[in-house]
Structure 1
Amino acid sequence: MSKKLKNLGGSNFCWTREPEFNPPGASGGVDACVEEQFQTARPSDFRKLLTSHLESAINLTQAKAGVVRVLLPDEQTLQVISAVGLTDEEAEPESLAKLACENCGKDAFRRGLCATDVEACESKQGDIANKQCHSALSIPLESTNSPGILLGVFTLFFNSPKSSSGKTASLAAIFAELCSALIEYIQANREAKRAELLQERQTIANEIHDSLAQTLNYARMSTRLLTGALRNKNELMVKKYTNELDGALEISQKAVRSLITDFRSEMDPAGLLKALHTLMAEFRSKYSITLETTIHVVDLDLPLEHEIQVYNIVREAFSNIAKHSNASHARLIIDQLCGYYVFCIEDNGVGTFSPVEGHYGITIMRERAQNIGGEIRVESTRGLGTCVQLYFPEPGSDWRKLHE
């Protein structure tokens, strides 16, 4: 499966191929796709809960359609997270839009409720309803705790002209406030729980560190005793202390591996998307490689362990591109297909990546993927670049119940 991707690099370069995802399993992921359509809304499910609010707003205001867009971590891009009254064909082309409004001026959405004549508007607001509506009311979704902080945009489309005052506008503003409160509550709740889990991991790491210090101290004592036994040519004690030293070193090795692999984390408490955005910003500042991003996931809600493993896999893939690919362009694509989350990291480099064990950290990447029930696929063709694809099944309801 693949999706049509745009050339966002701002240069003459254009990707000549699109990553494809072939779901594992006999049904090719069809069962998962069907099951996903009939899932019950969760308290942390942005899309379904916002859709419920949006449907109520449309009914009360007699609007024809509506969308809720949330602001991505780059603070420049709005992504449709909920749409009612629009077909998939109408909503999909504008699932991502720049915050600036071409018709009303840069950052117009920050100025308050905006009434727009759809047919006269040349911005994305005019395209999303496919010219079938006459007017739109757009209201910025602002933080209730931090005024001036934009969370997204709430928009209703109408068949008749609407003004920025009156009963309809007041009702729309009320629903916008409810959406803002819901978005902020869910984000804050997730961040608090994520921070708590990160603190728990840090506590465990500290305990491992203390245990490791004790084990190494014991190893030093065994070394001194071993030295004395060697000096006295006591073969029995030499064997005893050698075994003790070997055991201590084995325990220390396992503790260090666990500490490095499982507990050292650079995860942002704000979540995986924010952490990846920071990672990409650092990549762009260090290397002269054009890095593009395409996100097709409306709400990336994952367990902390998944976020940590995904973050480290993506970081390792970026590191390989910077060190070995000799590429001019790279891209990260995040998608959700047939019950799987799919992360593709692709470059247009020399394509000499050899996906064998022990090469370019592929062993650790595969171990990390396996820890979350996923897999790594690598496609590398000389002269055509390399695509590293991570995919893993969407976590079941069990972990969500523990965190809601």
Structure 2
Amino acid sequence: MSTLTVNPSLDGAAAILGVVPSGTSGDDDLELLLERFLVSIAALAGAQAGAVRVLTDDGLHMRLVAQQGLPPHVQEAEQLVDRGCGMCGTAGGADGLGWVDDLRSCDRQGGGHYFGGQCKGVLAISLVHADQVLGIYNLFFESRVQIPPATQTILRLIGQLLGLSLHNARIERERLRVTVMKERQEMVNEVHDSIAQTLAYARMRLPLLNDAMLAHDDTRAIKYFSDVKQAVGEVHDNLREVMTYFRTRMDPLGLLHALQGIADGFYGRNGIALEIRNTVRHLNLSDAQEVQVFFIVQEALANIAKHSMARHAAIIINKTPAGLEFVVEDDGLGMAAPGVSTIVTSAKELAAPTHFGLEIMQSRAQRLGASLEVGDNAGGGTHVRLLLPTPPATTAEHTQ
């Protein structure tokens, strides 16, 4: 049996380290990056194939997440193996690097005589992050390989970088899971705040309506019927608002990009020119803050479109001594004059809509610890002013 000495050059090792992903990616992106890594390391080490396995959530098995060069039947057989299987299991249980000569257990797994035939040896290197083994990567060789200490150091370093990538991928998956749970809770809160209470009011009015009808008290019956009709109209309007809220998600490129996207299409949808005037280079808001600000601004713009009869509107972002200020204003009718939706509903003999949009904006402002002001402009039109107080400076900031 021939012996192959693996001694990668510094340039080759640097090239591999450049391929190893270290940031968070989606599962599909990470697997593509891992496959690219396997191509590079297998070529450098003279291996015929490579594989990356990660521990399952229960810690009992190792799952194949990427491979290069393995025959299809071996890929299928190696999809899920026991954590304690052979040298792979040893490497998966501790921060280690090991060579597997006895491949009989690998062949029994279902390798179809690949192990011991085409493959004479397997190298197993653990993927470690913060002293926790997250998986292993394997290199498959046609003959015995001698591994110099310098090469072992490089292979371990690669294992650590891959471990960091897997750790970051897990963090990203957990973040997405938490995001989904928060969005579901937000949906429950929105339905409760804007719909459930109104339905409860309508339900309380129905027995009174029934009693008035049985008593042939037309005056009271008409009043209670009007109350129920108004409540149903409010539920319909707010259900549409909730649906719009959860269909229109925050732009992943951030708040300013999301607002610009609204501005670009606002005139085409509503016939109102929308301008953004921003004097703040960096908003320095968290993701959660950006989401709340976005929906407050969106609600303010929806009110402009429905009620203002304006020709122009603006989103103004300023940094003031009191904090970060967002102002949404228009040159329309103002708050005292009847808006377009009020005129339309009056013409149809319907009850005018109430200010649930304002209540929702106030609720979001409270979640931010911000203040919200709605009023008339001196020259006509209305404004919505959201002020996020500047957080107190830390001790480190005072000493700089």
Using the size of structure 1 for normalisation, the TM-score is: 0.45
Larger Rg: 2
For normalisation by structure 2, the TM-score amounts to: 0.45
Structure with the higher helix share, 1 or 2? 2
